[in-house]
Amino acid sequence: MPHPHPEPAPARIAETLRAATDLLQRAGVASADVDAQLLLAHVLGVGRGELHAAAVRGDTVSAGHAGVFADLLERRAAREPLQHLTGLAPFRHLEVKVGPGVFVPRPETETVAQIAIDALSAAAGPTPVAVDLGTGSGAIALALATEVPHARVYAAENSVDAFVWAKENFRAVGAPNASIAFVDLAEAFPELDGTVSVVVSNPPYVPEGAIPRDPEVRDWDPPAALYGGADGLDVVRVISGVASRLLHAGGTLVLEHGEWQGDPIRELLTADGWRATATHQDLTLRDRATTAVRP
């Protein structure tokens, strides 16, 4: 009668992380070590600091957790976005829920949000108003609402899938000074015309012929959130008109864009009558946002 094979000994966390990092590196994931840590921390229900402490102690991973981790690791190696696997994307002091159908907020957009937050904080009046056009997950709007609590923040989204995610994030954050509407961006908030201090947007700005290199972007982000026409600026042109309608004199427009688009966006905005156009860099010293002032 054959003897049953003994159960393999549980693997230590440190060893599990080393093997996972190696697998992700071979799959071409740039942040392999961080992604392995975040995935295992997610599976174990702990933070990265607690995971590190457990690894130092020599703690092991149970068979059940190891199986779940292996499945997630395989999906990440196939370049499914980390944020889809954990269901969350960090953004400034927030964590927003994300998944298929909504653009995953990027760290560079935190710089764009900071510019808008600074402008909103400096706006005159006890209750300045901000509008986020094409809010996606709601990350920028919710950052403004929670970091400038005396302001009122309105968000517009025209994608059904993204709107569902944004509604959930607005509900979860529960900022009483923030609201969201499902509306065509060109027709957003006519009741606010001439009263808004800051309009901010991270529009689709990738030219149609420029396919993103990263599979996480190319294969998973919704095309409507990526591509902005032949030169990438179709939605920027719409937002220029909407923002000039919404903003009061002296109000600020903040636009995110690609690193090579500062010059054409400044030219576009200047031709539309905007003043004081300026392009700003993100933390990697790449051009990332352009601001303009309504005359």
- For the stretch 60-114, pLDDT in tens is 999 999 999 999 999 999 999 999 999 999 999 999 999 999 999 999 999 999 9
Torsion of CA 78, 228, 102, 188, to 10 degrees: 180
Give CA separation, 272 vs 100, 153, 197, 238, 241, in Å. Answer: 36, 25, 18, 11, 8
Residue 270 in contact with residue 277, Cβ under 8 Å? Answer: yes
Looking only at the bridges linking them, the beta strands covering 94-97 and 88-91 are antiparallel
pLDDT at 57: 93
Q: What is the mean pLDDT of the chain?
A: 93
Higher pLDDT, 161 or 219: 161
State how far the Cα of 68 lies from the Cα of 86, in Å rounded to an integer. 12
Let me know how long the chain is.
295
Full-prediction pTM beyond 0.85? Answer: yes
What are the b/e assignments for 39-76, b being 16+ CB within 10 Å?
bbbbbbeeeeeebbebbeeeebbeeebbebbeebbeeb
Q: Which of 144, 155, 152 is nearest to 183 (CA)?
A: 155
